[in-house]
Amino acid sequence: MHANPFISRKDISYALIICLGDFKRFLLRKVRKSSFGIFFSYMYHINGALPDRCQGIEFDAIALDEKGNALFFKDEYLWNGYHGPAQLSNESFKELDDIHGIGHVDAAFRMHNIDNPDDHDHIYFFLDDKVFSYYNQSLEDGYPKDIQQDFPQVPSHLDAAVECPKGECVTDSVLFFKGHDVHVYDIATKTVKVKTWPNLPVCTSVLRWLEHYYCFHGHNFTRFHPITGEVNGPYPKDARHYFMRCADFGGYQTPKCSDVKIDAITSDDAGKTYFFAGTTSSSTCIKNMRYVLNSFLSAAFSDDQVYIYKGDAHYSLIEGYPKTLREELGIEGHVDAAFVCPSEHTVHVIQGQNIRNIDLIATPRVVTQDVPLMLSGIDAAMCGSDGIKMYKGSQFYHYENMVTLTSRIAQMPQNITGSMFGCRD
């Protein structure tokens, strides 16, 4: 299962807005509080209908809230999540409208600063030359402030902003976009380096989603590398196919939990979980040299091979990989699932109704134990601080440790839930 997003927009009554979209945005950058801006903002109300993002809206800002829900902003409206109607932004963030009167957001991002819990996961909004800091939809004391008070050397009237944690950028950073210039703000040192990315479209909003970065422009988006601005692949793409649920665009449909089948699941030393289903995954990279057997992803791969990735600012496959199972682990045959428990150097490989333990320190690799299991047909498995989970179809079995897993005591299956994988209960 994978989490994808959806996007949308309105109809005939604001066709003028659509036709003049680029011109309107240019003017609003110059005259945010002009009657022209208010005219466009209130055209939605003339028809008595809310804007529909499936019509192709160019968003002013996109950010995740404290719970990871995506917020899409346009004029005085916002959309909470990847489907559902628009609502007035001042219903959730009252002070934006009270102070500036037009409810418009230039840019927004969610702070990633685990070293400073007073800032971490706060949402920052930028309007003209001011910045607002919110937590749980409450404006923090002392805000709004001039942008330069919180972010020295960062310009006003921004186009977009996005957080970039260490490991994806060189340091914990915020990327501020204005035209083709990107102001890379180092959170720890409060310094700025300016880069120019002429090959990237001018972004009106930017979203970090599952460790990837998306520049939104018009009703399209372009994925880019957060350090170089490099664009790889066939872009731009229409956001309505991916970031919202639109009937005419075949947008991603969140599956029911009863329909979920996990092909593989693992985690890294930072506590992030990566799960795979079908031909796509919640992440394509595994950090800190965790093992991922290609045959786990049977829907996407057919060869029994091992891929090892190292974690750095841009995840990369270690030279010499992929290798065959025999080369890397000294075994052959179809692999149903595999896992490594925290602080261990043994990979537990499930093949049919047997689990084979392989010492990763030994050279060459050796199978230290081959034990029968009570279960068969396992799709995926993961070991964490709370024990071992074995996934089979839309259910899982929980074991406290390897002793209970290899015992003859049967466990009752539990259903996969939305809180685990974002599916519909």
What confidence tens digit (pLDDT) does each residue in 351-387 have?
999 999 999 899 888 899 999 999 999 999 999 889 9
Cα-Cα end-to-end distance for the chain: 14
Q: Order the strands of the 173-178 sheet from edge to edge.
A: 160-164, 173-178, 181-186, 191-196
| Mean local confidence (pLDDT), 251-261 | 77
Which of 172, 199, 231 is a domain's end point? 231
Of 44 and 292, the structure prediction assigns the larger pLDDT to 44
Which of 231, 265, 281 is a domain's end point? 231
Average pLDDT along the chain: 78
Q: What confidence score (pLDDT) does residue 283 get? A: 38
Q: Which two tokens stand for residue 52?
A: 């529909």
Local structure of 33: helix, strand or coil: coil
Q: What are phi and psi of 386, to 5 degrees?
A: -95, 5
pLDDT band at 36 (very low <50, low <70, confident <90, very high): very low
Q: Is the pLDDT of residue 102 over 70?
A: no
Q: What is the CATH number of the domain that holds 123?
A: 2.110.10.10
Q: Which two tokens stand for residue 382?
A: 């993961």
Evaluate whether residue 197 is within a structural domain.
yes
- Would the CA dihedral through 201, 249, 243, 314 be positive or negative? negative
Same domain, yes or no, for 205 and 280? no
Which of 197, 231, 265 is a domain's end point? 231
Nearest-angstrom CA–CA distance, 147 and 192: 13
Q: What confidence score (pLDDT) does residue 163 get? A: 96
Nearest-angstrom CA–CA distance, 105 and 157: 10
Measured at the alpha carbon of residue 215, what is the angle toward residues 117 and 424, in degrees to the nearest 5?
A: 70
Same domain, yes or no, for 144 and 221? yes
For the chain, percent of residues with pLDDT exceeding 90: 44
Q: What confidence score (pLDDT) does residue 317 get? A: 63
Q: Which residues pair with 220 in a beta bridge?
A: 217, 238
Evaluate whether residue 18 is within a structural domain.
no
Q: Which two tokens stand for residue 191?
A: 């310094």
Evaluate whether residue 425 is within a structural domain.
no
Evaluate whether residue 141 is within a structural domain.
yes
| Mean local confidence (pLDDT), 160-189 | 95
Evaluate whether residue 410 is within a structural domain.
yes
Residues in the chain, total: 425
Nearest-angstrom CA–CA distance, 375 and 392: 9
Helix crossing, 21-30 with 35-46: angle to 10°? 130
Evaluate whether residue 33 is within a structural domain.
no
Evaluate whether residue 392 is within a structural domain.
yes
Same domain, yes or no, for 271 and 191? no
Q: What confidence score (pLDDT) does residue 425 get? A: 79
| Mean local confidence (pLDDT), 198-220 | 94
Q: Is the pLDDT of residue 63 over 70?
A: yes
Same domain, yes or no, for 218 and 355? no
Q: What are phi and psi of 131, to 5 degrees?
A: -130, 140
Residue with the two structure tokens 């939305």: 418
Q: What confidence score (pLDDT) does residue 396 get? A: 96
Same domain, yes or no, for 79 and 168? yes
Q: Is the pLDDT of residue 319 over 70?
A: yes
- Residue pair 161/206 in contact by the 8 Å Cβ criterion: yes
Same domain, yes or no, for 381 and 349? yes
Q: Is the pLDDT of residue 391 over 50?
A: yes
CA dihedral 120, 185, 81, 209 (to 10 degrees): -100
Of 313 and 132, the structure prediction assigns the larger pLDDT to 132
What confidence tens digit (pLDDT) does each residue in 8-27 have?
322 222 222 222 333 333 33
Same domain, yes or no, for 260 and 403? yes
Same domain, yes or no, for 184 and 292? no
Taking alpha carbons only, the member of 232, 234, 205 closest to residue 217 is: 205
Evaluate whether residue 45 is within a structural domain.
no
Lowest average pLDDT, out of 33-37, 55-59, 141-145, 404-408, goes to: 33-37
Q: What confidence score (pLDDT) does residue 300 get? A: 25
Same domain, yes or no, for 137 and 263? no
Q: Is the pLDDT of residue 289 over 90?
A: no
Nearest-angstrom CA–CA distance, 336 and 297: 9
Same domain, yes or no, for 181 and 285? no
Same domain, yes or no, for 217 and 72? yes
pLDDT band at 284 (very low <50, low <70, confident <90, very high): very low
Taking alpha carbons only, the member of 5, 119, 139 closest to residue 62 is: 5
Nearest-angstrom CA–CA distance, 103 and 28: 13
pLDDT band at 265 (very low <50, low <70, confident <90, very high): confident
Q: Give the domain extent around 114.
A: 53-231
How many structural domains is the chain composed of?
Answer: 2
Same domain, yes or no, for 212 and 339? no
Q: pTM of the prediction?
A: 0.60
